[in-house]
Structures are given as C-alpha cells and as structure tokens.
C-alpha cells in the first residue's frame, strides 16, 4: 500500500473528488420528488407480452385455411413443438394439427385467452375434415416469445 507520505497529492485529490461529488447531490435533491417520479412519456416495457388479440391473429395466420405452410412450421414453432414432432410414435401424425397425414378442408381459431401469471396464452382450434368430422385442440403461445411462435399443442382426444 502507498502511504500519503509517498504520494503527497493523494489526500488532496480525494478531498477534491469528495467536494465535487457533494456539490452534485444538492442539484438532484433540488428537483421535487413529484417531477422526478413523473415521466412525461412512459417507456414501453422491454419485456413486451403478447395480448389475447396478438395471439388470436398469430394463430389464425399460422394455421390459415388448410394448415400451416412448411416455412411457418420451420420458423414460427418452438423447439418444443419440433421435438414433439420428431418424437411422435407415428411418423404420419402431425402434432401441429393433431391429425394423421391429412389436410383439413377448413380451420377456425377461437378467441385467445391469456394467463399473465403463467406467461401463456391459448386458443381452441377447430379443424373441419372432408368426411364431415370436426376435431378440436388447444394451441399455446408463450407471452414473451420473440418473435411470436406456437409453443405447444394439446390434442383433445
């Protein structure tokens, strides 16, 4: 360690720095607390969370009329969905549509529900098939996913 006898300017430098800092603090304290607390332009949260409307629009676009396009499956699904598809016991089973190798005639996406505390939103998806059969399943989206993507699908039966 250096003593002040070896560095004669050190104590003077420390006193000068403290004086300069103490001179700044009265400036901050002079601003009324109400002015410091009020922000004229509220900042958007860095942690944006998708709304129910965001999720409904995303799922309707993702599923389209007859099912997702290959590039949507590749770019707009989570790794969890990709792993689930890869691990499906039946290679013809499509985990995104809860169906075996067929293309639905029509798809409807219901309004999404959001559980902020769970960080997830979901909507019921109904597929209509050529033989008059309908199927429903639930599609899930994480509220903080960037970009928004399909996180999981739970088939009804």
**DSSP per-residue codes, 20-86:** HHHHHHHHHHHS-HHHHH--SSPPPPSS----HHHHHHHHHHHHTTT---HHHHHHSB-HHHHHHHH
* Residue with more model confidence, 107 or 16: 107
What pLDDT score was predicted for residue 48? 80
Residue 19 exposure: Cα atoms within 13 Å on the Cβ side:
6
What would the mean pLDDT of 83-90 be, rounded to a whole number?
Answer: 94
* Residue with more model confidence, 157 or 59: 59
Q: Is the pLDDT of residue 95 over 70?
A: yes
| Spatial distance between the Cα atoms of 132 and 104, rounded to a whole number of angstroms | 10
Q: Which domains does the chain have, with CATH numbers?
A: 52-155 (3.10.450)
Residue 127, classed as helix, strand or coil, is strand
- Residues near 138 by beta carbon (within 8 Å), at least 6 away in sequence: 122, 123, 124, 125, 153, 154, 156
- Residues near 156 by beta carbon (within 8 Å), at least 6 away in sequence: 98, 135, 136, 137, 138
What do you get for the CA distance between the two ends of the chain, in Å? 75
Q: What is the pLDDT of residues 96-133, one digit of tens each?
A: 999 998 899 999 999 999 999 999 999 999 999 988 89
- Residues near 142 by beta carbon (within 8 Å), at least 6 away in sequence: 78, 119, 120, 149, 151
- Report which of 128, 13, 121, 156 is spatially closest to residue 66, judged by C-alpha positions: 128
Which DSSP symbol is given to 16?
Answer: H
Q: What is the pLDDT of residues 22-58, one digit of tens each?
A: 444 443 344 444 443 443 433 444 568 999 999 999 9
pTM score > 0.85 for this model? no
What pLDDT score was predicted for residue 131? 85
Q: For residue 120, what are its two tokens?
A: 């997830």
């Amino acid at each position: 360690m250096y003593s002040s006898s070896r560095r004669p300017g050190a104590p003077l430098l420390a006193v000068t720095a403290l004086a300069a800092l103490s001179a700044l603090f009265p400036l901050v304290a002079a601003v009324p607390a109400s002015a410091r607390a009020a922000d004229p332009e509220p900042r958007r949260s860095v942690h944006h969370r998708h709304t129910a409307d965001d999720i409904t629009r995303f799922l309707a676009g993702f599923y389209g009329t007859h099912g997702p396009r290959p590039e949507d499956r590749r770019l707009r699904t989570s790794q969890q969905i990709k792993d689930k598809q890869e691990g499906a016991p039946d290679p013809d089973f499509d985990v995104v549509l809860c169906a075996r190798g067929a293309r639905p005639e029509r798809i409807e996406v219901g309004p999404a529900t959001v559980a902020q505390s769970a960080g997830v939103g979901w909507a019921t998806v109904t597929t209509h098939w050529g033989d008059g059969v309908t199927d429903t399943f639930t599609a899930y989206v994480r509220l903080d996913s960037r970009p928004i993507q399909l996180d999981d699908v739970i088939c009804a039966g």
